[in-house]
Each structure stands twice: as structure tokens, then as C-alpha cells.
Amino acid sequence: MFRTGAQFMFLVLLAGLALMYESRQEPLAAWDNAFADFLAMHSPRAAQPAPVTLVAIDDTSLATQPWPWTPLEFAKFYQAVLPFNPEVCALNEVLDWNRLGLSDEQLRRLPQYESILRDLILSAPKNLLGSELGFPEDQSVIPALQEVPALRQVRGAVDRIPEFTVIERQATENFRLSSTVGFVNLPPVYERANSVPLVLRYRGQVVPAFALQAVMLWLKLTPDEIAVELGSHIQLGKNRRVPINVTGRMRVDFGAPRHECTFDELILASEQAAAGTRMQVPLDQMKGGIVLLARTDADARTVPLAARRTGSRGELFAAAIATIQNESFIRRAPLWAEGVVVALLMLVSFRVPRQKKWLAVIVGFLALVIYVMLAMAVFSRWLVWLPATVPLGAVLVFVILRLVTPDSAGRPKRPVIF
């Protein structure tokens, strides 16, 4: 039976070394990733909100204006937001209407509404519209190649990037020709989306995804000024570098501060600004930034985001854009830092055999609380996340061993170490 502090320390060391390796493999890697997302969402931040505003189409907005919206509703968005002088107006929805589902009255007014919307889109400094890549229904028929903004400076295994052969959904031509397209595809495997694709492939060409295209417009960069090195980074101009994995995906910092308001709040603030009265929701932060109109209602929350919650595509894209703008790129702590954690827990476990069982449980609980507070402080300062499985497993080892070990009254006066 393990009765001495040295034995406890040795077992904690073995458990810590094993968990340091296993925490980089599934399923324990998912636990550590979830802990990183928890730190990102709950750690205090000193950074200013990123210059991106999510205009949320929530359930309240859809109660009076049910989905799908007509061009008139989107025109109201542009009318309300353009006076605040944003640099980029973005919609991740595809502006293409199914005329078969419209009433006769809606069909009669649709050309007029489309004309109004097109004029407002032309008034925007830069406009980004959502498009979706896909595959043809008949694989034997090769669709016509469409012109897309392709990235030419790409290094690495390009075949690891998801490839598509057709633009499945896109805005109608009168909107598309006056805007830039951004592809909103997400991976088909519904795992926790704590990362977002920044590049995709269309018929062999590497193209920017929606979040990257929005930042390119905001930074006034052309595709020729973008350099992609898969498994390392995307170089945006000369001064900004975005880390990506081998498939072209970037980890999203869901705690990156950003602005948000609902569609109804935007309309009300626009009316108050036009009337010269005080706005209940300050929207001056839109000037020079990115304004993204996206659904956040219950029916749109189908993407399994981090921290065991679901959200919409728009929420994911807004968090990704804020991550790039604030350069809040999350990194895992190096191995030596995990080794320090294991060493500290070994010191804590040394005196556990001499304590009462209930006191050992309290010590383990307090050790985990202190560790979480330390991890939050480290993350707030350096955006580095400490693992969760290593300390949790090590604490469980010495607590469980103490619970199954007899009290000190039954121990020999001179215990043998091994």
C-alpha cells in the first residue's frame, strides 16, 4: 500500500508524464481545447474591442419580419448603417430569392426592391456578399469555370485544403458585379468549431474564405499581397501574420472583444441619429470598421461552437474577424510549462499521506481552483492556455490514493519508501 509522500510524488510524476502525452491525442485533446475556449471567454481582457460590429437578426427581429427576407429588409440595413461610414458592409447570407415561394404581390414589387437595394450597395465603400461552394448534381458534367479572387502565393500541401468544383449558391448578377464574394463554407464534420477556414479550393485555385476576404477588404489588400504558407501562417501585407494549420484553418478566440447590436437597435439608433437625438445604442464605432449583418435566431444556431454551445455562422465569422483584427491568436503553453505544473503538484502531494482524508479532498479542490485562476491570469497576459487534463488527472491520482490509504494511526513509525 502507498503510504509515504515520496511514493505519492512518484505516482503523480508518472501520471503527469502520461497525461502530458495523452492530452495531445484524442479524446483528451478535445478536453484541453474546451478548457482553452473557457479561458478565452471568461478571462479578463485589456484589449479594446475590435473594429467589427455584428448586427444580429435575432428572434425579435424575425417576429415582425419573418424569414426569408425580401430585398426591402436588406435595403433597410444599408440605409441605417451607411450614415455611420463603415469601411466594409458584409452579409454572409446569399442574396438570391426563390421566386416560386413568393406571392403575386411580392413578385410584382421584387424588381423595385432589388433596384433600391442595388443602389444602396453601390453607395457602400466596400461590400462583401456570401457565396457557397459545392459540387454538381451530375458528377459527369463539368460546370463552367467562374472567375473568383484567387490567391497565387501559396506554399505547402495544397491538397489538404478542402476542394469544391462548383459555386453552388451566389448572389444574383446585379448584386454580385458591384460587390466582392466571400465563401461561407464550413467543414461538413460537425465537431466543435473552435476554428474557421480562411482559405478554400475552387477547381484547383486557392480562394479566400469569408472571414479572410472581409479582413482583406478592411486592410485594402489585393490577392497578390497575400502569402499563404500552409501549416504556418497567412501573411497579410507586411505587418500582419495569421497562424493557420495545414488545412488553412485558424483557431478562433471567442473572447476577443467586439461590438454587437440587434437589427432593431440599429434601425432605432439610425432614426435617432437622423433626428439629432441621443442614441440609446452608440454606433459611432462602426466608422472605418466592418459591419456584418447575420442571423443569430434560434433556427440559425446550428453550428456547434466552443464551450459546449451552438451558434450561427455569423457569430463564428464575427469572432474570427475580431481575432484577426486584434491579433488575439491563442497558443498552447510549451512543454516546460506543463512540467512546472507537474512539479508543483508533486510538492503538494508530498504531505497528502499525513493528512486526513477529508482534508486531502479539500487540498485537491483548492489546488484546482488556484490552477484555474493562474491559467486565467496567464491567458489574460500572454494569450497562452495551460492544459486542463494534466492537473486534473494528477490531483485525482493523489486524492484517490489517499482515500484508499489507511489513516496515519495504522502506519508504521518508520515507513519504508519502496
Integer angstrom CA distances of residue 17 from 52, 54, 336, 346 = 42, 43, 12, 12
State what percent of residues in the chain have pLDDT above 70.
93
Report the range out of 32-46, 107-121, 256-270, 390-404 with the highest average pLDDT: 256-270
Strand partners for 209? 183
Tell me how long the chain is.
418
Tens of pLDDT, residue by residue over 91-142, are 998 888 766 566 677 777 788 888 899 999 999 999 999 999 988 887 777 7
* 263, 58 Cβ separation under 8 angstroms: yes
Please name the residue that has the C-alpha cell 455611420: 84
Long-range contacts of range 112-115, CB-CB < 8 Å, 24 or more positions apart?
113/70, 113/71, 113/72, 113/75, 114/71, 114/172, 114/174
Residues 6+ apart with CB under 8 A from 303: 186, 193, 310, 311, 312, 313, 315, 316
Query: pTM, whole model, 2 decimals?
Result: 0.88
